Structure formats: structure tokens, C-alpha cells
């Protein structure tokens, strides 16, 4: 899996989470969804990857993912930031996963942005 971050997305991630936040986990978050196959694409800021997770290639951040979640995503992903809406978009050549990409800091707090 390869994740390309636009320059705007990189700048906004650093602005929101600080330049030291470089470790992320891509998940299909099904918490509170009621069904494990209807997850919401989410990036979690994490302190370290967990055992068994795979590292994605990325042009900006270190991104890890659970192998079982790979089926929900294409091999080539793009993250962009839209300043007009103050939102991130996760997309591939084949689809837009979300125009309101959820970002959650799982390092010390569960407050989502």
C-alpha cells in the first residue's frame, strides 16, 4: 500500500498535531457502527505500531495498518486537504473513500478532530 499526502495535507496535519507527530495508523474504524464491515476510514495518531501490523509506503508520514483492513482500501491512496471545508479527503483512482476523513489522537487522548 502506498499513501501520497498532498503538500496542503502535510502542512495541516503538522499544524493540527505538531511536527513531531509522524506515526499514524490507517483503520476502517467500526467502533459504534454496529457492523464490522461498515467501518469509517480513519487515521489514528499512535505512539508505536502493534505486533502484526504492516507498514505502508508514504511520502510524508510513517503509516501502519492491520493486514485484515487492507481489503477495504486500494493499493494507491491519496490524502488531500480542502481549506474551504477544513477537511481531509481520502481517495484512490477508483473511488473517494471520504471527504471528511476522521483523525483521532490515540496516543494519550481519544479526542477526535
In what helix (H) or strand (E) does residue 90 lie, and over which residues does it extend? strand 87-91
Place of cell 505538531: 18
pLDDT of residue 113 exceeding 90, the answer is: no
- Residue from 41, 37, 43 nearest 58 by CA: 43
pLDDT of residue 49 exceeding 70, the answer is: yes
Dist CA 23 CA 31 (whole Å):
21
In the chain, what are the helix, strand and coil shares in percent, each to the nearest 5? 15, 40, 45
Interval 93-98 mean pLDDT: 95
* Domains, the chain, ordered by start: 2-29+39-105 (2.60.300.12)
**Strand pairing partners for 63?**
24, 56
How many other β-carbons are positioned within 10 Å of the β-carbon of residue 54?
13
Amino acid at each position: 500500500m502506498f499513501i501520497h499526502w498532498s503538500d496542503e495535507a502535510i502542512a495541516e496535519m503538522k499544524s493540527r498535531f505538531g511536527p513531531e507527530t509522524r506515526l499514524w495508523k490507517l483503520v476502517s474504524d467500526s467502533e459504534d457502527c454496529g457492523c464490522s464491515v461498515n467501518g469509517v476510514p480513519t487515521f489514528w495518531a499512535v505512539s508505536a505500531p502493534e505486533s502484526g501490523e504492516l507498514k505502508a509506503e508514504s511520502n510524508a508520514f510513517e503509516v501502519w495498518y492491520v493486514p485484515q483492513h487492507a481489503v477495504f482500501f486500494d493499493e494507491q491512496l491519496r490524502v488531500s486537504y480542502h481549506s474551504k471545508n477544513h477537511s481531509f479527503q481520502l481517495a484512490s483512482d477508483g473511488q473517494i473513500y471520504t471527504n471528511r476523513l476522521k483523525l483521532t489522537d490515540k496516543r494519550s487522548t481519544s479526542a477526535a478532530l
